[in-house]
């Protein structure tokens, strides 16, 4: 079997309640025979209750990807800044909207994010925690930075934040009432392991929500995605299991990887994935080696600000993670690998 660490989905797999809800939908037939609710009323109510915002502040999309693509068009941004290295779709969306793009690179080997002067940027993209570095913005820094630049729109992608047990302390959604220049984007496909369904949302001011909604395809969130989202959000037990997994696996994998520091540098991660810098070999070389052991990791050399020495691993269950660390040790230092696996 292939062990795929190249994506960063919840290794618990889709919540069982989602399978049950989708089966019920198919049996009834109505979900196939009618157009979906364009307002996603039931799903939106769940998100309103979850975040304590008004219904007109929530915009649902066909994956957060649909929202990311619509944002620069909806807000007519001509000049955009991106905090790099980060998810490449912010750049693609900005270029599709014919915006001029400036890249801000996080300083140092650990990619600690810091505020900068937006100068004439009308929109700043950032991701928290950031894909692929796994770094989280220090507590309190983002709201202060945003308040100091009311003329700049900040788009904060929190797609990986709900994996963290302390997500409520780090989310910017509670700050929306004081920050009219903020759009928070979230994906439901990472946390609930539903990438095939396509579901994401944005939370912002009612005015910005209207502008964004006007840019989306009609009925973009299909009936099955709506039902899957409602079932997933209801499942509190799943969230508890996810947080328990996050606590134990992030700590033990980071500790195990730190022991391989002769061969690689571990970027300290605060997310459910880890960025590694290989010391003496290229990512292509390592991918090839791991492929022979049916292991796949993400070649991270294409991110702006990274090079051919970077790979990203999305964490799995503890047994798979242990296999990965063992294989990494073996590939990067065959002698060490044999000792540690024996």
Ligand X SMILES: Cc1ncc(COP(=O)(O)O)c(C=O)c1O
- Could you please report the per-residue DSSP string of 169-191? HH-SGGGTTT-TTEEEEEESTTT
**87 binds ligand X per the rule CB under 6 A:** yes
Beta carbon nearer to ligand X, 269 or 327:
269
Pick the closer one to ligand X by CB: 93 or 209. Answer: 93
**Does 159 sit near ligand X (CB under 6 A)?**
yes
Say which residue the tokens 């788009």 belong to: 155
Whole-number minimum distance, CB 331 to ligand X, in Å?
Answer: 26
CB of 89 to ligand X, least distance (A): 7
Cβ–Cβ < 8 Å for 58, 209: yes
Residue closer to ligand X by CB (options 12, 281) is: 12
Beta carbon of residue 337, minimum distance to ligand X (angstroms, whole number): 30
Enter the tokens of residue 105.
Answer: 């690179």
The secondary structure of residue 132, as a DSSP letter, is: T
**Which residues in 105-144 contact ligand X (CB under 6 A)?**
127, 131
Q: Which is nearer to ligand X, 36 or 78 (CB)?
A: 36
Residues with Cβ within 8 Å of 307's Cβ and at least 6 positions away in sequence, in order, are 301
Binding part of the chain for ligand X, among 23-31, 59-67, 140-148, 209-217 by CB under 6 A, reads 59-67
**Residues 302-341, mask of contacts with ligand X (x by CB under 6 A):** ----------------------------------------
Nearest CA-CA partner of 146 in 100, 104, 95, 184: 184
Is residue 133 within 8 Å of residue 108, measured between CB atoms? Answer: no
Nearest distance in Å: CB 194, ligand X: 8
Contact between 287 and 5 under an 8 Å Cβ cutoff? The reply is no
- Choose the binding region for ligand X from 60-68, 210-218, 290-298, 316-324 (rule: CB under 6 A): 60-68
Query: Which position among 10, 171, 181, 187 is part of the footprint of ligand X (CB under 6 A)?
Result: 187
Instruction: Report the residue from 6, 57, 65, 250 that binds ligand X according to the rule CB under 6 A.
Output: 65
Q: State how far Cα 58 lies from the chain centre.
A: 18
Question: What's the half-sphere exposure (Cβ side, CA atoms, 13 Å) at 11?
Answer: 21
CA distance 162 to 178: 22
Catalog residues that contact ligand X under the rule CB under 6 A: 63-65, 87, 127, 131, 157, 159, 187, 189, 195, 200
């Amino acid at each position: 079997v292939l062990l795929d660490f190249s994506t960063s989905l919840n290794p618990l797999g889709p919540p069982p309640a989602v399978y049950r809800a989708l089966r019920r939908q198919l049996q009834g037939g109505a979900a196939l025979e009618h157009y979906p609710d364009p307002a996603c009323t039931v799903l939106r109510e769940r998100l309103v209750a979850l975040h304590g915002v008004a219904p007109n502040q929530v915009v649902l999309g066909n994956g957060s990807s649909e929202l990311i693509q619509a944002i620069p068009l909806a807000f007519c941004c001509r000049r955009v800044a991106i905090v790099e290295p980060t998810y490449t779709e912010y750049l693609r969306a900005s270029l599709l909207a014919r915006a001029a793009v400036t890249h801000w690179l996080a300083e140092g080997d650990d990619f600690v994010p810091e505020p900068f002067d937006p100068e004439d940027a009308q929109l700043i993209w950032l991701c928290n925690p950031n894909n692929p570095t796994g770094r989280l913005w220090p507590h309190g820094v983002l709201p202060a930075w945003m308040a100091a630049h009311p003329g700049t729109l900040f788009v904060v992608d929190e797609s990986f934040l709900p994996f963290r047990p302390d997500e409520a302390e780090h989310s910017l959604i509670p700050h929306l009432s004081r920050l009219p220049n903020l759009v928070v984007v979230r994906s439901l496909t990472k946390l609930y392991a539903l990438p095939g369904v396509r579901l994401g949302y944005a939370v912002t001011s009612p005015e910005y929500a209207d502008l964004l909604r006007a840019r989306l395809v009609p009925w973009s969130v299909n009936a099955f995605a709506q039902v899957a989202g409602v079932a997933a959000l209801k499942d509190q037990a799943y969230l508890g299991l996810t947080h328990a997994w996050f606590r134990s696996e992030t700590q033990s994998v980071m500790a195990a990887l730190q022991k391989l520091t002769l061969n690689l540098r571990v970027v300290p991660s605060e997310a459910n994935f880890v960025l590694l810098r290989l010391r003496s070999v290229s990512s292509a070389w390592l991918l090839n080696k791991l492929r022979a052991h049916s292991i796949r990791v993400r070649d991270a050399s294409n991110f702006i600000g990274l090079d051919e020495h970077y790979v990203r691993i999305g964490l799995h269950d503890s047994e798979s993670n242990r296999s990965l660390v063992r294989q990494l040790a073996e590939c990067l230092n065959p002698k060490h690998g044999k000792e540690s696996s024996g």
